[in-house]
Amino acid sequence: MKLRRSLSQPEEPIELNLIPLIDIIMFLLIFFVSTTSFMEEPGVKVDKPASGGSGQSDNATIIFSVSSDGKISFEGKEVGLSGVRPTVKRICAKEPQPVVIQTHENARSGVMVRMVDEAMMGGAKDVSLASERGQKSM
């Protein structure tokens, strides 16, 4: 009977079974993901300028208002769709300025799209839309 192995015999390769290790890692991952409480961060509050207010603010923004019945006003005066481009051209004669279009929630989207086109053709630097729920129409 032979109790010792000879050096000439090759050793059997060592096999590591990784499947149980992967199972445990997946279980821990699922456990930590399901027990972690996620904090919900509030969004950024933005103060929109008042509709039909004092006109140009300190940063020289052109503000138009659209009421629920489609009337377009600038600085509290009704200018209509045909008055958007000349107003923007007049104000942007020296330097292009941004335009903000405030809309009532019931205003038609077609009017807003045409206003954006008119403002861009008038020479506005960029055009932004602002909408507020429950805003009073003018």
Give the tens place of pLDDT for each residue, 44-103: 454 555 555 444 444 578 888 888 888 888 888 888 888 888 988 888 888 888 888 888
Q: What is the pLDDT of residue 60?
A: 75
Whose tokens are 């509050």? That residue is 45
Taking the whole predicted model, whether its pTM rises above 0.85 is answered as no
State the pLDDT at residue 24: 94
pLDDT digits 0-9 by tens, 20-43: 999 999 999 999 888 887 666 554
**Buried b vs exposed e over 6-19: b needs ≥16 C-beta within 10 Å?**
eeeeeeeeeeeeee
Measured from the Cβ of residue 33, the count of other Cβ atoms closer than 10 Å reads 9
pLDDT category of residue 115 using cuts at 50, 70 and 90: confident
